[in-house]
């Protein structure tokens, strides 16, 4: 199988085909490190860590050398879970015939690149959020970095309150995708469960379509304005009495009451309440620290005096 996107999943086998004619008669695994100046295969990491050394090994240390009938050259079988290979590594693979080799009149090389990726299996999300939404007969599809032909164990399960288990085994296709149809018709709408990928040690949330949605409504804001006209005993030069108008506004939002003292511009005071201000409420106000609470308490006392 051709590497997908020039990549191979970590712990999968990588088969490197050296397509060269006239080399089988001189082929020896032990000489693939350049010993004897016959031929050499090198694997060199091209993205080493900063200030670090690149990982390197030769064809002499790989697991197998294969020469299938009907093909030219040879194959190297490399276990990507060995040789200090890690996910994220990139390697340049180079086949070299030295200039003084009996196989050629001059130096010849051929090279290729491969990158090693994490073993990843993803299930396609259907519906809003992170959960895989299902309904009746549902096709569960996904993608992976695993080699085509690999089997994946996938199950839908919920241990309680009414446990169920739907196990399936799928095979990775040539395009690194997979799919299987599962029957969820016996589950009630809104039921939550999980998909379990046993080999990868992963769980993905699932939910049956048609569950109830909850809407949160903000509490209403009530504003009450009271205008009071008071006649005083002072008279103007025309003999008419003067009147003073005082406006008091109470606004209730989420259990807090704001009370305007008068038109003098004095700072408003917040008091904990149920929609009505209280002259006798001298407790600490939620949200204030010790110093601020003392100032708020003082304002509440002044308010009570002025309203008598």
Please name each of the domains of the chain with its CATH number: 7-117 (2.60.40), 121-208 (2.60.40), 223-228+244-306 (no CATH)
Mean pLDDT of 225-248: 49
**143 pLDDT above the threshold of 90:** yes
| 282 band by pLDDT with thresholds 50, 70 and 90 | very low
| 296 band by pLDDT with thresholds 50, 70 and 90 | very low
pLDDT of residue 20: 87
This prediction has a pTM of 0.62
In a 13 Å sphere around the CA of 149, the CA atoms on its Cβ side amount to 6
| 185 band by pLDDT with thresholds 50, 70 and 90 | very high
Element (H, E) at 68: none
| 169 band by pLDDT with thresholds 50, 70 and 90 | very high
**283 pLDDT above the threshold of 80:** no
Question: Using CA of residue 67, residue 72, residue 78, residue 80, what is the dihedral sign?
Answer: negative
pLDDT of residue 302: 27
Beta strand ranges found along 83-159 (DSSP E): 90-97, 108-117, 121-123, 132-134, 137-144, 151-158
pLDDT, tens digit, 9 for 90 and up, residues 37-89: 899 999 999 999 999 999 999 999 999 999 998 888 899 999 999 999 999 99
pLDDT of residue 124: 93
Taking the C-alpha atoms of residue 22 and residue 57, their distance in angstroms, rounded to an integer, is 25
Residue predicted with more confidence, 26 or 269:
26
- Could you please report the per-residue DSSP string of 178-222? EEEEEE-TTSPTT-EEEEEETTTTEEEEEEES--------PPPPE
pLDDT, tens digit, 9 for 90 and up, residues 241-264: 455 555 554 544 444 334 444 444
**113 pLDDT above the threshold of 80:** yes
| 213 band by pLDDT with thresholds 50, 70 and 90 | very low
Q: Give φ, ψ of 60 to 5 degrees.
A: -70, -20
| 24 band by pLDDT with thresholds 50, 70 and 90 | confident
Residue predicted with more confidence, 280 or 134:
134
């Amino acid at each position: 199988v051709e590497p997908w996107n020039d990549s191979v999943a970590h712990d999968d086998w990588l088969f490197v085909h050296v397509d060269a004619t006239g080399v089988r008669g001189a082929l020896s695994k032990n000489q693939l490190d350049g010993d004897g100046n016959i031929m050499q295969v090198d694997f060199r990491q091209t993205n080493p860590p900063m200030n670090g050394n690149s990982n390197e090994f030769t064809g002499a240390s790989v697991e197998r050398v294969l020469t299938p009938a009907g093909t030219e050259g040879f194959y190297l079988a490399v276990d990507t879970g060995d040789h200090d290979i890690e996910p994220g590594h990139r390697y340049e693979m180079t086949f070299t015939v030295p200039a003084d080799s009996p196989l050629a009149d001059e130096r010849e090389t051929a090279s290729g690149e491969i990158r090693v990726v994490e073993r990843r299996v993803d299930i396609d999300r259907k519906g809003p959020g992170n959960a895989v939404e299902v309904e009746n007969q549902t096709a569960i599809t996904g993608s992976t970095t695993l080699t085509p032909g690999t089997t994946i164990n996938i199950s839908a399960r919920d241990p309680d309150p009414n446990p169920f288990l739907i196990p399936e085994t799928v095979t990775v296709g040539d395009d690194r995708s997979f799919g299987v149809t599962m029957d969820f018709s016996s589950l009630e709408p809104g039921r939550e469960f999980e998909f379990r990928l046993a080999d990868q040690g992963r769980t993905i949330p699932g939910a049956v379509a048609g569950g109830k949605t909850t809407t949160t409504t903000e509490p209403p804001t009530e504003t009450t304005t009271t205008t009071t006209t008071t006649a005083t005993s002072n008279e103007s030069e025309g003999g008419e009495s003067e009147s003073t108008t005082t406006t008091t506004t109470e606004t209730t939002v989420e259990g807090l009451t704001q009370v305007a003292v008068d038109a003098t511009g004095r700072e408003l005071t917040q008091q904990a309440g149920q929609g009505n201000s209280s002259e006798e409420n001298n407790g600490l106000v939620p949200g204030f620290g010790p110093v601020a609470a003392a100032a708020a308490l003082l304002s509440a006392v002044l308010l009570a005096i002025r309203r008598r």
